Amino acid sequence: MGLGAGMRLVAWQPRDLMRHLDEAITVYGEAMGYPRDLIDTRKGYVAAHTHRPDFRAVATLRDGDDQLLGFGYGYRSTPGQWWHDQVAGALGRDLRKWWLSDCFELVELHVKPDAQGRGLGARQLSSLLEDIPHRTVVLSTPEADESKSRAWRLYRRFGFVDILRHFNFPGDERPFAVLGRQLPL
């Protein structure tokens, strides 16, 4: 999957993400603005996620040196998974049934700040959601001014709608929005 301009988009298997885990965690931290000590704790979660059902991942690599410029991954969201259960508990029965009963959870989608604005996030998102065998896709993202946030503009451009706003996950004081979209794209 070519991107042009010295970059390429590749599908990653779980072993590929694990082989590049330190790089991916660094990109995650830079994109989210998290301190190093916090992002280091995420390694175990990411490693566990690679074993989830319907796991899919993509990465954008720079030609020549294979520097990781961005990545994304997700899997089937099911009861018993922490994120799924947090969101399910905040939704009413009908919304929970519609959004979460046959759902792909987009867990991470990040592009290094110095590589943003080149369409990498859109290409990664399109690739991850291509031919997904689920009715919906859901994600969470920090609340932000939609007009100033590249992530928000990307999700809105792809047709994501609000499911929950100003939701607080345990362990993170920032409010998040939970967004969703019916599939296929």
- Residue-by-residue pLDDT tens, the chain, 185 positions: 446 579 999 999 999 999 999 999 999 999 988 888 888 888 999 999 999 999 999 999 999 999 999 999 999 999 999 999 999 999 999 999 999 999 999 999 999 999 999 999 999 999 999 999 999 999 999 999 988 899 999 999 999 999 999 999 998 889 999 999 999 99
pLDDT at 4: 56
Residue 155 falls in the annotated catalytic set: yes
The answer, yes or no, to whether the previous bond of 35 is cis (omega within 30 of 0) is no
Q: Classify strands 2-4 and 136-142 as parallel, antiparallel or unpaired.
A: unpaired
DSSP three-state, residue 134:
coil
What per-residue confidence (pLDDT) applies to 118? 92
Q: Please tell me the class of the 2-182 domain.
A: alpha beta
pLDDT attached to residue 5: 72
Say how far apart CA 167 and CA 131 lie, in whole Å: 30
The residue extents of the domains of the chain are 2-182
Q: Which of the following is catalytic: 28, 73, 75, 155?
A: 155
What was the pLDDT predicted at 16? 97
From 38, 44, 53, select the one nearest 21 (Cα to Cα): 44
Please list the alpha-helical segments (H only) found in 111-176.
120-129, 150-157
Q: Is 83 exposed, middle or buried (0-12, 13-18, 19+ CB in 10 A)?
A: middle
Q: Output the pLDDT for position 3.
A: 61
Q: How confident is the model at residue 178, as a pLDDT?
A: 98
